[in-house]
């Protein structure tokens, strides 16, 4: 494009100079001819006037002198017949307004006018007349300026039109470059086909390539879902296998953005061996599938629910919401009484054909309790449910002894006072690379709710902050602390943002203002959101990336897993990295199917130009398997012990 522009400029400049030169030469030729004719006409008229003086040199001298004084002559000379000068008058060349270089470039070569003077048949001599050429040069100079000005104007207009034409040609080329760069970054962008025929073929080919690559990516995502089913799901029911359910359950209990309390439902099909003998394996399988369909309906409808098959007879359902376990268990019992073969319909103690007994235990408990407590309480409640017949149900609400029972207003006051007083700190956990070097510090926020109390992790206070709509204030405080720490030691840090904060209208603008105040530290800051942000709040996530990434801030997803394959526009989210959830990577060393799924997930994310980290790694064998899969970094208890501090 530069060569084309230079060529056009050279052609325009050459045409301009040539036009000026030709026009100036033409005007010079006209003026030169006119000046020559003037010299000849004036010489003839003067010779005629002198011839009428009958050879009286005194009168003739007076006439020549008068003619010289009244005309613009450079030389006026009268020679006698013998060649001697009878009268001569000269004048210095007039200065005029034409510069000397112009006179030297376009000189006026004009011969003097000559005419014979006679007295009858007697020759008296000749008259020589040379007019001043300064006025002609001045006229030529002014004409030159006018012509140059007009041609310059025409040249500028032509240059403008050429620039518009070049821009029109360059627009699809720039769009093609932008499309190629977007493809390198894992974004599948199509562009409008150019109107220029040659470029139309180029843009059409690029669009076809992008569509093809996108289809390959989508096919890869579909294959990942198949691998997920094979690695994590029970082939009979489609529910999550026991090992994966336990890993996901433990991860859900440890997440910062979960609820204060949750519900857990345990279902047990009694006397499976005798059922197989009486009903046959095929009918028992259908019975189990009917129960699984009823359980599986909740994760399909409610995000965050977990459903799994723990063994041949036990199914489990985790509900990430308080005070819903009893109602959900009752709805399940009613649905199963009607759905199971020979069911008697809704009602307590319904029976089914063949002596089928289904016991359902439901508990509601604080999420701060470890997973073993949940199963212990559920088993105790299930023992009560098994005392009934048919489809029987038992429920228990387990009160939380760690946190006092107080209203939302009190919690809001405590969290607000804590943030205002600065009783907050970041608890760093390292993310290391294969060489054991620090990639960044993962820094969840801890709050001291009471002035003399302990600093509580986010699992204790964030659900309360979400309920009190204070998550945005807490996230902004975490970002301020991270920027201050980066300014002190220069080490990169990442902080977690609650997806709920994105829903506050002014949050992104306030966040950008905080980051903008520390431009140097911002280049080593990362912001992380849970996978649910990409699934539920994709547009808000995309806008967050558009606002903060130009400031040098990295954006990532944490707790990511199989849900990534369901994000239709993950390539448009504007992410820099993804952290795979502990439930996805735990046990990868001993499970080939799990390893194949994680490998496919890493390949898919790498194709989108994303870095991939693994969370919650607690075993050296799992860590080695993840390095073999070529993840970029690892965090978790194992990484904390292995990292080489810089």
Could you say which of 125, 157, 189 is where a domain stops? 157
Output 102 or 186, whichever has higher pLDDT: 102
Residues 584 and 480 in one domain: yes
Residue ending a domain, among 363, 397, 431, is: 397
Closest CA to 600 of 557, 635, 570, 562: 562
- Does pLDDT of 102 surpass 70? yes
pLDDT tens profile 280-317:
888 888 888 888 888 888 887 877 889 999 988 899 99
Instruction: Please report which confidence band the pLDDT of residue 615 belongs to, taking 50, 70 and 90 as the band edges.
Output: very high
d(CA 249, CA 543): 31
Shared-domain flag, residues 337 and 379 = yes
Band of residue 347 on the pLDDT scale cut at 50, 70, 90: very low
Residue closest to 561 by CA, chosen among 614, 635, 609: 614
- Averaged pLDDT for residues 520-528: 93
What was the pLDDT predicted at 443? Answer: 93
Q: What is the DSSP letter of 183?
A: H
Does 19 map to a domain? yes
Which pLDDT value is given to residue 401? 55
| Residue 350 confidence (pLDDT) | 45
Q: Tens digit of pLDDT for each residue in 441-493?
A: 999 999 988 888 888 888 778 877 887 788 899 999 999 999 999 999 999 99
57 and 33 share a domain?
yes
From first CA to last CA, the distance across the chain in angstroms is 48
106, 125, 157 — which closes off a domain?
A: 157
In this structure, which long-range contacts are made by residues 178-183, counting pairs with CB atoms below 8 Å and at least 24 apart in sequence? 179/206, 179/210, 180/206, 183/210, 183/213
Beta-carbon contacts of residue 100 (< 8 Å; ≥ 6 apart): none
Whether the pLDDT of residue 184 is over 70: the answer is no
Structure tokens at 29: 């030729």
**How much is the pLDDT for 555?**
93
Between CA 32 and CA 30 the distance in angstroms is: 5
Q: Is the pLDDT of residue 204 over 70?
A: yes
What is the pLDDT of the chain when averaged over all its residues? 83
Judge whether 139 lies within some domain.
Answer: yes
Closest CA to 528 of 565, 502, 509: 502
Specify whether 341 is located in the same domain as 450. Answer: no
List the CATH number of the domain containing 391. 3.30.70.270
229 belongs to a structural domain: no
Residue 565's domain comprises 408-642
Q: In this predicted structure, what is the pLDDT of residue 22? A: 83
Same domain, 570 and 421: yes
- Rounded to an integer, what distance in angstroms lies between the CA atom of residue 325 and that of residue 300? 17
Which pLDDT does position 627 carry in this prediction? 94
Nearest to 117 by CA among 42, 38, 53: 53
**Average pLDDT over every residue of 112-132:** 83
> Are 369 and 429 members of one domain?
no
Gap between the Cα atoms of 466 and 445, Å rounded? 14
Asked whether residue 255 is assigned to any structural domain, the reply reads no
Q: How many domains does the chain contain in total?
A: 3
What confidence score (pLDDT) does residue 345 get? 44
As a whole number, mean pLDDT of residues 325-353 equals 68
Other Cβ atoms within 10 Å of 19 Cβ, number:
16
Q: How many residues does the chain have?
A: 646
Which of 466-469's residues contact partners 24+ apart within 8 Å by CB, and which partners? 466/257, 466/498, 466/500, 467/260, 467/408, 467/411, 468/408, 468/411, 468/412, 468/415, 469/504
Report yes or no on 8 lying in a domain.
yes
Is pTM beyond 0.85? Reply is no
Answer yes or no: is pLDDT of 258 > 80.
no
Residues 86 and 41 in one domain: yes
Angle at CA 318, nearest 5°, toward 273 and 272?
5
195 falls within a domain: no
Whole-number Å distance between alpha carbons of 421 and 120: 128
Segment among 165-169, 393-397, 575-579, 607-611 with least mean pLDDT: 165-169
Phi, psi of 597 (to 5 degrees): -65, -45
Range in 190-199, 385-394, 429-438, 575-584 the model is least confident about: 190-199
Q: Does 608 score more than 90 pLDDT?
A: no
Q: What is the mean pLDDT of residues 172-196?
A: 73
Verify that 335 and 438 share a domain, yes or no.
no
Task: For residue 344, name the pLDDT band (cuts at 50, 70, 90).
Answer: very low
| CATH code where residue 425 lies | 3.20.20.450
Q: Looking at 20-29, 94-103, 231-240, 630-639, which range is the least confident one?
A: 94-103
Location of structure tokens 């960044």: 440
Is residue 587 within 8 A of residue 609, CB to CB? The reply is no
d(CA 597, CA 540): 29
- Euclidean distance between CA atoms 315 and 293, whole angstroms: 11
Residue 439's pLDDT band (boundaries 50, 70, 90)? Answer: very high
Residue 223 tokens, joined:
């294959």
pLDDT value, residue 341: 60
Residue partners of 571: CB distance under 8 A and separation at least 6:
186, 187, 188, 217, 608
Regarding whether 509 and 556 lie in a shared domain, the answer is yes
- Whether the pLDDT of residue 558 is over 70: the answer is yes
Going by pLDDT thresholds of 50, 70 and 90, the confidence category of residue 521 is very high
Q: Are residues 465 and 342 in the same domain?
A: no
Higher pLDDT, 305 or 203: 305
pLDDT winner (highest mean) among 177-181, 333-337, 610-614, 639-643: 610-614
Residues 372-400 have pLDDT tens digits of 899 999 998 988 888 877 788 899 988 76
Give the separation between CA 537 and CA 502, rounded to whole angstroms: 8
Q: What counts of helices (H) and strands (E) characterise the chain?
A: 21, 20
Percent of the chain at pLDDT > 90 equals 19
* 141 lies in the same domain as 98: yes
User: 309 and 376 share a domain?
Assistant: yes
Strands (E), 235-384: 240-241, 261-269, 306-309, 314-319, 358-366
Residue 503, in any domain of the structure: yes
CA 575 – CA 613 distance, rounded (Å): 13
Query: What is the CA 211 to chain-centroid distance, rounded?
Result: 19
Q: Which of the pair, 514 or 386, is modelled with greater confidence?
A: 514
Structure tokens at 249: 């359950």
- Does residue 579 fall inside a structural domain? yes
Whether residue 321 is predicted with pLDDT greater than 90 in this model: the reply is no
């Amino acid at each position: 494009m530069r060569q084309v522009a230079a060529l056009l400029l050279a052609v325009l400049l050459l045409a301009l100079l040539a036009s000026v030169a030709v026009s100036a030469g033409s005007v010079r030729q006209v003026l030169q001819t006119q000046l020559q004719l003037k010299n000849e006409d004036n010489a003839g008229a003067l010779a005629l006037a002198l011839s009428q003086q009958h050879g009286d040199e005194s009168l003739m001298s007076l006439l020549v002198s008068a003619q010289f004084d009244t005309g613009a002559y450079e030389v006026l000379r009268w020679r006698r017949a013998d060649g001697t000068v009878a009268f001569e008058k000269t004048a210095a060349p007039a200065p005029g307004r034409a510069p000397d270089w112009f006179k030297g470039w376009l000189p006026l070569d004009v011969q003097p006018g000559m005419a014979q003077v006679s007295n009858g048949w007697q020759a008296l001599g000749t008259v020589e007349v040379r007019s001043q050429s300064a006025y002609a040069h001045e006229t030529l100079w002014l004409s030159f300026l006018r012509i140059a000005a007009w041609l310059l104007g025409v040249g500028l207009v032509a240059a403008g039109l050429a620039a518009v034409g070049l821009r029109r040609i360059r627009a699809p080329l720039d769009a093609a470059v932008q499309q190629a760069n977007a493809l390198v970054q894992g974004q599948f962008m199509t562009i409008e086909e150019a109107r220029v025929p040659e470029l139309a073929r180029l843009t059409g080919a690029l669009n076809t390539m992008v569509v093809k690559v996108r289809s390959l990516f989508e096919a890869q995502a579909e294959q990942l879902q198949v691998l997920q089913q094979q690695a994590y799901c029970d082939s009979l029911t489609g529910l999550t296998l026991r090992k994966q359910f336990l890993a996901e359950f433990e991860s859900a209990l440890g997440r910062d953005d979960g609820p204060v309390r949750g519900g857990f439902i345990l279902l047990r099909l009694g006397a499976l061996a005798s059922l197989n003998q009486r009903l046959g394996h095929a009918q028992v399988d259908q019975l189990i599938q009917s129960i699984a369909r009823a359980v599986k309906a909740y994760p399909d409808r409610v995000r965050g629910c977990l459903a799994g098959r723990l063994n041949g007879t036990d199914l489990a359902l985790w509900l990430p919401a308080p005070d819903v376990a009893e109602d959900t268990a009752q709805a399940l019992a009613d649905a199963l009484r009607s759905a199971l073969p020979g069911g008697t319909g809704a009602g307590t103690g319904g029976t089914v054909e063949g002596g089928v007994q289904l016991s359902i235990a439901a508990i509601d408990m604080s999420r701060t309790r470890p997973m073993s407590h949940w199963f212990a309480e559920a088993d105790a409640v299930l023992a009560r449910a098994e005392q009934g017949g048919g489809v029987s149900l038992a429920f228990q609400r387990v009160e939380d002894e760690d946190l006092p029972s107080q209203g939302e207003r009190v919690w809001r006051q405590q969290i607000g006072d804590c943030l205002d007083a600065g009783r907050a700190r970041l608890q760093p956990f390292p993310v290391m690379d294969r060489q054991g070097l620090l990639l960044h510090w993962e820094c969840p926020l801890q709050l001291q709710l009471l002035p003399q109390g302990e600093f509580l992790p986010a699992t204790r206070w964030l659900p309360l902050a979400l309920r009190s709509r204070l998550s945005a204030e807490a996230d902004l405080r975490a970002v301020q602390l991270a920027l201050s720490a980066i300014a002190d030691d220069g080490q990169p840090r990442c902080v977690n943002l609650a997806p709920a904060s994105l829903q506050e209208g002014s949050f992104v603008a306030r966040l950008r203002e905080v980051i903008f105040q520390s431009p140097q530290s911002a280049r080593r800051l990362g912001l992380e959101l849970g996978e649910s942000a990409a699934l539920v709040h994709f547009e808000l996530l995309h806008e967050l990336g558009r606002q903060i990434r130009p400031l040098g801030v990295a954006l990532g997803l944490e707790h990511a897993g199989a849900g990534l394959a369901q994000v239709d526009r993950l390539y448009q989210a504007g992410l820099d990295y993804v952290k795979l959830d502990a439930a996805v990577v735990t046990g990868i060393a001993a499970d080939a199917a799990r390893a194949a799924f994680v490998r496919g997930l890493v390949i898919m994310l790498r194709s989108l130009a994303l870095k991939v980290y693994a969370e919650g790694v607690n075993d050296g064998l799992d860590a080695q398997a993840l390095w073999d899969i070529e993840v970029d970094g690892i965090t978790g208890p194992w990484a904390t012990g292995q990292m080489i501090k810089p």
